[in-house]
Structure 1
Amino acid sequence: MSYFTMINCCLILGACLLSSQVVWSQRVRVEYEVTAYPNGSVNLRCEFTNSGSTKLTQVSWMFERNEGDRHNIAVFHPTYGASFPNKDFEGRVKFTQGSLENPSIRIDNLRMTDAGRYICEYATYPSGNEQGTTTLIMLAKPRNSAAPVPVQAGSSEVVVARCMAAQGKPEASISWITSLAGRYNHTSVPESDGTVTVKSEYRIVPTPVENGKDITCVVDQRTQSASQSFPMRLVVEYPPTVTIEGYDDNWYMGRKDAVLICQADANPAPTDVTWTAISGQLPATVQVDQNRLLVRNVDETVNTTFVCEVKNSLGSGRKELAATVIESTEDPSSAGIVAGGILGILLALVLVSALVTVLVMRSHRRQQGYSGDSEQGGYGNKPRLFGGKKTSKNGTGANNNGPIYTYRESEPGTLTEKCSEFPHLTTSTPTAHDILLSSELNEAERRKFDAFNDSIEEEEEDESYDRFGGLPPSYQIHRHEDECAPYLDDDMESQRDGSIISRTAIYV
C-alpha cells in the first residue's frame, strides 16, 4: 500500500469518527446560553434523546470557570442516587427531576463567580460518554453615580465632573452631554467577583464664566431598560469681582438721598462688605447699609473717592469711585414752580375751551331759533305788516292802505306777499280790524298795528270828510296787478317804532 493510500484511509476514518461524535452529541439536549443575576436562581436543563439500544449508566454536571479547569458539582446514579461533591455549590444545587432521562439541575443564591460553562455528561454503554454544554452568563446591574468636582479658577486643565458605573457586568458605557469646550477619559477596573467598574472624568480649564454651567453624564448597560442620565452644574470658585453702581455724574449741591450700591461676583458668596473713603473716614452725611451707601445730603464733604471692598473665603476684591460735587444749576424748587405753571396753563386752557364751547352752543341754538317755526323763537317766520303814513303833495290826505307781506329770515333780501293771509275774506277787501283779528299775527305785532291805526285816526279826524264824499275813511288793501308780486327791498323804509313800511303809495 502506498503512502498516499494510507493517508486517504486515515482521513476517511477520522471523518467517520467525527460524524459519529456529532450524532452522539446531538442526543444530549441542553440550552446554549442562559443569563442570571446575583442572589437569583437558574435552571440548567439537560435531556438524553433517542437512546435506542444505548444503555444510560450515570449522568454528571461539571463546572468549568476557566478553559480546562473542570469541577464535578452534581452526579446522579440510578442505584446510588444524587451526589454533590463540590463544596462551593454545597446546599445551592439540586436535581429537579432525579432521573437519567432528565437530569436538569437548579442553582440558587447565585454568585458572580458562578459564571462559566456547565457540562451535562452521560456515561453510556456501549457508546461511551456523551455531553452537552451550557454557558451561564452572570449579569450585574451597575451602581451608577455622578457629581461635579469643585475647583478654583485657574489656567490649568483639571477634572470638573466625574461619572461612575460600579460593578456591572457586562461593562457599562459612559458618555457626556455639555456645551463646554473640554475633554473626557474612561477607565475600566475588573473586580474580583467578575464585574467591571467604569469611571469617566470631564476636564476643562476652569474660569468664573464656567461656574454654574450644565453638564450631563449618561450611562448605558445591558441590564438597564433605558439610559440613566445625571445632570449637573459645575462649581468653579473664585474671589470677588467688585463693581459700584448708582453714580449718575449729577451730584449737585443740596441734592438729597444719592445712593451707591456695591455689587460683587464671587463663589463662595461674599462674607464681608466694607465702605471707606480714600481721604479717611466717611463724611457725616453718609450712611452705610450693608452693600448700600446712602448720601442724605450732597455737600462739599462728599467730594471724595469712595472704596468698596468685598471678601470671601478665597480672597478679596475692591472698587473705587471718585464722586464729583457740582454747583446747582437751577433752584431745587424750580421744578415745583414749573410744574405749577404748567398745571395753571392747562387749567386756563380747559376754562377757555369750556367758555368757547358754551358760546358756540348758544349761537348754534339761536340760529336754530331764527330758522324755526313761530313756537321755537321770536324771529321765526312771523307775518310782518308793511305800509305807513304818507301825505300826498297835493294835500289829498294819507294813504294808509297797502298789501300785507311776510318777511322770512331764511330768504334774506326778499319780501313775499301772503296771498292767503286772510282766507276767510274772499269777496271783499280786509279792513285793519280784520287784519288784527288774523290768527297769523302775534301779540307784539298786533300792538304795533293798533298804535299805528290810532295815529292814523287822529290825523284823519282833523281832515274834512268832504274829500271822500262825506264818507268815513276806510282802510282797504288793494293788490297789485300781479296778485302775489313782492315789493323790492329798496322800496321799504324803517320806522322809529321798529316797523318797516313801503314807500309806494296806494290810493283808494
Structure 2
Amino acid sequence: MANNAVKLPEFWEAQAEVWFAQAKAQFQLRRITGDASRYYHVVAALGPSTAARVVCLHNAEEFLKSSSYDCAPQKLITMEHSSSALILVDEQLEISDDIVVTEGEQVTLICRYKGNDSVSQVTWRFLAAAPLPPPEPRPPPLALATLSPLYGSNFAVPFDGRATFEGSQGPIGPSGGRDGTLHLSEARRADGGTYICVFTLFPRGGLRAGLELQVLVPPQISAFQANPAPVSPSLSSDSQFSHKTFTPALAAICEAWGARPPSTIHWRLSTILERLVAQPNLGHSPVVSPQSSPGGPLWVSRSELWLQPNRTAHGQNATCVVSHPALITDVEKEVNLRVLYAPEVRVEGYDGSWYVNGPGGKLHCMVDSNPPPSVFTWTRMNDTLPAGVRLHNATLDLLAPLTPELAGTYQCHVDNGVGEGQAGIQVNIEALESSAADQLAFPVRLLSLPFAVALPAFFIILCLFLPVALWFRRRRQRRRHGHCASDNDVYFDGFTTAPPPPISRVPPSLKPHNTDGDRFMIVYPSPGRGDTVSLAAIPPVCSPGEREPQRHDMFCAMGGLSSHHVPLSLPQRHELSQSAGSLRH
C-alpha cells in the first residue's frame, strides 16, 4: 500500500492543464487505474477556493480522459457532491444558476457566449440524476439538443416537442447570435439532473458550462385510522393518564408519498390527545424512504400516531399537517379516532315512589361502549323474573298494576365483544298508606272539584232559564199569530195550557163607562174566577181600520195601561160565549 500511495500537489488553478498531466503521470507510476480512486485523488487535491467553484459534469473516467480542450486552463466555478464528475466552466460563458421548479412549470436554461470567436454549434447535454440516492450510479449522458448554422435545431426524443432554442430566432455563426438559451415548456419529474451547455468555437474549440435542475414533485397525502383500532383496558376511572399504566397502541397513520424532496409531517392534537401521546417525539418524526424514479428518487414520508389507549380518545380528531416546497400552503388531513372499550352500564327509571296498584314503570339499561352492545340480558338477583314484566332489549317494563311480587334487585348485563358490563337497581313496591293515599288523592280532588260544583249549578240554571224561555217563546208565538186589538176584540188567558181562544167581540154592555173611543179593549177571563173578566186598556198602536196583525204590533200583546174586573151576569157570559163561538165557525 505504501508503494501505491499518491500525494498530489494542490490544484494549480492558473495551470490546470499542466496539473492534470502530472496527476495522470502519478496514477500511471502508482498503477492506480480505478476510476473512483483517481477521481477521489483529484477532488482531494482541490484547494478551498477551487473546490467552492467546481460543478459535476462527467464521470471520473470521462473527466480524466478529456481532451486538451476539455482540460484547458479554465476557471472552475462550483461543485455538486452527489455526482461523480467535474465540470470545467469557462468564465466567458454566461449560464443560469441552479434552478428549482415545480413539476409542470416552464424552465429557461440560459447559456450565452460573451467572446468574439465564431460559434460553429451549440450543444446541450443532459446527465439525469440517479434514480436512487448514492451509491446508485447516474445514467449515461444524453445529447439533449443541438443548434448549428447548417442543420438548424435537433432534440432528443424525451425533450422533442417541449424544447426550443432562443437562438433559433436568428442564425448562429460568424455573423449570427451567440445565445444558446434553451426553453422547456413543461418540466417533468424525469428532467431533474445536470445540464451541460457546450459552445463549439472556431478556431478555439469547445467551452463548457453546467447547472443543476431540480424538479419538485408535490406529494400524494392520506391519513387514516389504524386497523385494528386500539383497545382501552377496563378502568375504574377514565381520568387516569399514567404513562406506566398502558401499552402504547397505534391510533392513526399519515403518509405523503411520491414527493421530491421528502415531505415533513407533524400532528396537531387536542388537549385530551396531547395527554395521551405515548412518547413526546413519537408520531411527530416521519420515517422517510426513497422510491426509484428517473430524474431523482421520489420519497415516502410516513408518520404514526401512538397513544395510550383510553376511551376518552374515542371520537377525538387528530389532524395530520404536511409541508412541502411544491405546496403553496400546508395540507391538513383530519382523522376521527376510534377506540374500542368495554361497556359501562347503569340502570335508570326507578324514582323510589312505586306503590301497590300503581300505574307501572320502566327500567332503562344505559350503556356507554364501543362498539355498542346488541344483546341485553335482564335478571333479578336471587330469583327469576316475575310474570308481570316485559323485555324490550334495553328496557324492562313492569306492567300495571304494580304488585309486591315485582319488587327486587334487577340487573342488566351486556357484552360488546371487547368486554362485559353489568349494573343493577333495587326496586321497592310499597303498600299505599293513608297519608300517602291522601297525598295521591289530593290532586284527584283538585281535578274533580270543578266538576262537583259546576254540575249542580248547571241544572239549577237550566231549571230557572227553561220556564222563562218557554214563556217568552209562547208570547212571541201569540204576538205573531194574534190580531191588533180594537174596542170590540177580546183575548182569553194566554197562560192556560189549552190553545188560546179566538178573538171575541166585546159586548157593549161590558165596555167601561170611563174608556175613550179611541182605545182598544182586551178582555181576559179573570184567573180563578169564572164569573168575571178583566178589561185592559192599551195604547192604540194599530190604526182603527186594521184587522190583521203587523210587524209592529208588539204592543198589542203587552199589558194595558189600566185594567178593570167586570162581574159577569148569566146573560153576559152567554153573550160572550156566543160571540167567541161565532168566530170559531
Give TM-score, length-normalised by structure 1: 0.58
CA contact (8 A) 2:291 2:298 kept: yes
Quote the Cα distance in structure 1 between the aligned partners of 2:286 and 2:298. Answer: 16
Counterpart check, 1:81 vs 2:152: yes
Tell me what 1:297 maps to: 401
Counterpart check, 1:247 vs 2:346: no
CA contact (8 A) 1:171 1:196 kept: yes
Quote the Cα distance in structure 2 between the aligned partners of 1:20 and 1:252. Answer: 107
Tell me what 1:29 maps to: 94
Decide whether aligned partners of structure 1 residues 299 and 74 sit closer, same or farther in structure 2, where only a CA change above 3 A counts. same
Residue 229 of structure 1: which of 329, 332, 337 is its match? Answer: 332
- Which structure 1 residue ranges, 4+ long, deviate > 4 Å from structure 2? 10-15, 17-24, 66-69, 86-92, 336-345
Q: CA deviation at 1:212?
A: 1.1
Quote the Cα distance in structure 2 between the aligned partners of 1:174 and 1:47. Answer: 42
Corresponding letter in the other structure for 1:141 = P
Tell me what 2:219 maps to: 142
Q: CA deviation at 1:313?
A: 4.3
Q: CA deviation at 1:278?
A: 3.6
Quote the Cα distance in structure 1 between the aligned partners of 2:433 and 2:73. Answer: 115
Residue 190 of structure 1: which of 276, 290, 299 is its match? Answer: 290
Corresponding letter in the other structure for 1:227 = D
Quote the Cα distance in structure 2 between the aligned partners of 1:340 and 1:323. Answer: 26
Quote the Cα distance in structure 2 between the aligned partners of 1:24 and 1:111. Answer: 26
Counterpart check, 1:70 vs 2:138: no
Quote the Cα distance in structure 2 between the aligned partners of 1:325 and 1:136. Answer: 87
Q: Which runs of 5+ in 2 are unaligned?
A: 1-8, 17-48, 50-71, 78-87, 130-137, 173-177, 234-245, 450-585
Corresponding letter in the other structure for 1:192 = S
Within 5 Å, which residues of 2 pair with 1:348-427? none
Deviations 1:103-155, CA, capped at 9 Å, x for gaps: 23334564322101111111223443222323211011111111122332244
Deviations 1:454-506, CA, capped at 9 Å, x for gaps: xxxxxxxxxxxxxxxxxxxxxxxxxxxxxxxxxxxxxxxxxxxxxxxxxxxxx
Counterpart check, 1:277 vs 2:380: yes
Q: CA deviation at 1:176?
A: 0.8
Equivalenced residue count is 334
CA contact (8 A) 2:102 2:215 kept: yes
Decide whether aligned partners of structure 1 residues 68 and 314 sit closer, same or farther in structure 2, where only a CA change above 3 A counts. closer
CA contact (8 A) 2:95 2:210 kept: yes
Quote the Cα distance in structure 1 between the aligned partners of 2:121 and 2:192. Answer: 25
Larger radius of gyration between Structure 1 and Structure 2: 1
Tell me what 1:57 maps to: 120
CA contact (8 A) 2:89 2:209 kept: no
Corresponding letter in the other structure for 1:146 = A
SS in structure 2 of the partner of residue 301 of structure 1: helix
Quote the Cα distance in structure 2 between the aligned partners of 1:21 and 1:341. Answer: 112
Quote the Cα distance in structure 2 between the aligned partners of 1:292 and 1:191. Answer: 58
Decide whether aligned partners of structure 1 residues 199 and 344 sit closer, same or farther in structure 2, where only a CA change above 3 A counts. closer
**Identity within the alignment, %:** 23
Q: CA deviation at 1:261?
A: 1.0
CA contact (8 A) 1:112 1:195 kept: no
Q: CA deviation at 1:309?
A: 2.4
Decide whether aligned partners of structure 1 residues 88 and 340 sit closer, same or farther in structure 2, where only a CA change above 3 A counts. closer
Deviations 1:398-450, CA, capped at 9 Å, x for gaps: xxxxxxxxxxxxxxxxxxxxxxxxxxxxxxxxxxxxxxxxxxxxxxxxxxxxx
SS in structure 2 of the partner of residue 118 of structure 1: strand
Tell me what 1:380 maps to: none
Tell me what 1:207 maps to: 310
CA contact (8 A) 1:40 1:110 kept: yes
Tell me what 2:108 maps to: 43
Tell me what 1:312 maps to: 416
The structure carrying a bigger strand percent of its residues is 1
Q: Which runs of 5+ in 1 are unaligned?
A: 1-6, 346-508
Q: CA deviation at 1:282?
A: 2.5
CA contact (8 A) 1:243 1:263 kept: yes
Corresponding letter in the other structure for 2:110 = R
Tell me what 1:151 maps to: 230
Decide whether aligned partners of structure 1 residues 12 and 250 sit closer, same or farther in structure 2, where only a CA change above 3 A counts. closer
Tell me what 2:254 maps to: 163
Residue 426 of structure 2: which of 309, 319, 322 is its match? Answer: 322
Q: CA deviation at 1:297?
A: 3.0
RMSD of aligned Cα (Å): 3.5
Quote the Cα distance in structure 2 between the aligned partners of 1:212 and 1:258. Answer: 34
Decide whether aligned partners of structure 1 residues 330 and 222 sit closer, same or farther in structure 2, where only a CA change above 3 A counts. farther
SS in structure 1 of the partner of residue 190 of structure 2: helix
Decide whether aligned partners of structure 1 residues 119 and 317 sit closer, same or farther in structure 2, where only a CA change above 3 A counts. same
Corresponding letter in the other structure for 1:170 = P
Corresponding letter in the other structure for 1:153 = S
Q: CA deviation at 1:265?
A: 1.1
Corresponding letter in the other structure for 1:65 = A
Q: CA deviation at 1:230?
A: 1.8
Give TM-score, length-normalised by structure 2: 0.51
CA contact (8 A) 2:14 2:73 kept: no
